[in-house]
Amino acid sequence: MIEIQNQLSVNPEVGNSTKPLLAEVPYLLCSAIWYKDLPTMRLLPKNCDKGIVLCGWRHGNIIAQMQATMGLRTVIHGKNSAGKYEQGFLTNDNRFVERVEAAEIAFKSGQIKVEKTYLFSEDVW
């Protein structure tokens, strides 16, 4: 097994020969919604124990994706309900984080310039 954390990228065209492949601080990769009541999929973020996690550019895109692919609405109750869900983000270290933690990560990683207490995908992308 290769130790990726200790590997370095080498790209002489841009003059970086010591840039780490993985970031030293977590950062956000994309918006995500964790559908907790749906049948569990095999490949989940490491901190999710059930359901499925869908990812996309914005949360609205994910909601449309759920409706188009599974015929389910992103609501807790009612006809064609996807059940319990939580909107958040997926990180580069394969974790699902809710909006409050995502705001901290985005600020510390430099993805947003102004500190926020609650993050929306529009704040980042």
Report the pLDDT value the prediction gives residue 43, as an integer from 0 to 100. 87
**Rounded distance, CA 101 to CA 50, Å?**
20
Handedness of CA 66, 27, 22, 20 (dihedral sign): positive
pLDDT tens-digit readout, 60-90: 999 999 999 999 999 999 999 999 999 999 9
Q: Global pTM?
A: 0.80
The domain ranges of the chain are: 25-124
What is the dihedral angle through the alpha carbons of 73, 75, 78, 81, rounded to the nearest 10 degrees?
50
